[in-house]
Amino acid sequence: MCQLLGMNSLKPARLSFSLEGFLRRGGETDEHADGWGIALYEDRRCQLLIDELPSARSPLAEWIQLYSGRSRNVIAHIRKATQGSISATNCHPFLRHLWGQEWSFAHNGNLDVSKLPAPVCFTPCGQTDSEHAFCLLLDGLFSRFGRQAPGLAQLSQTLAELARLIAAAGSFNFVLSNGEWLFTHRSTELHYLQRAYPFGRAHLLDCPLGIDFSRHNEQDDRMIIVATRPLTDELWQPLPVGELAVFAEGRRVAC
């Protein structure tokens, strides 16, 4: 199946180190060679870039690592197709607008869409179970709250309820953001870590590259990294199975 990568940071930051290892899994160190994509937020505006080429051989992926700017929220995805053709239309992340916010979503897993209702307000453009599920999440939010965005506590509770309903149709690991918060849900495999002061060293698992974060960060820098499988030799923690986790300003928050 696919793999996910997400970042939520207190201050705008670059994800280039983690991306270096993650994107190699798209056809070099792993089999996820059916396209890739990344959603980068500048303030709350989302820049979405997708490519049906394997990320390990994509000129766009190389460009992103060299020239992407700083962001507080990032979602990236490398695809191994289970439903839908290999095409840009079926590459994650997917993007939709709700409440004047730009929502991005990426999924790892396999859902039986015959067990799920058809989306009503938000319509999939491609053929994947993932985009179908994303549209159902947004349908559920719009049905519950209408045109007025709720607070974080109500939003998180509703997303958790919707995620449980959709996960009944299969495996539903996802990362979701509106540019302010990062939401995750684990069915099978999803990990996270926090990078904060005092910063240490890390080495990527997919290539011989290391970094001393203390040389690149200030004391008040803080970020969360989420990945399907650990990317470095740091202490990654598995997220709880079947629960929605929420990250804001570079830390996990309770809602």
Task: Cite the active site residues.
Answer: 2
137 Cβ neighbours under 8 A, 6+ residues apart: 105, 159, 162, 163, 166, 176
Dihedral sign of CA atoms 96, 98, 102, 108 in order: negative
Q: String of b and e for 81-93 (b: at least 16 CB within 10 Å)?
A: bbbbeeeebbbbb
15 residue type, one letter: L
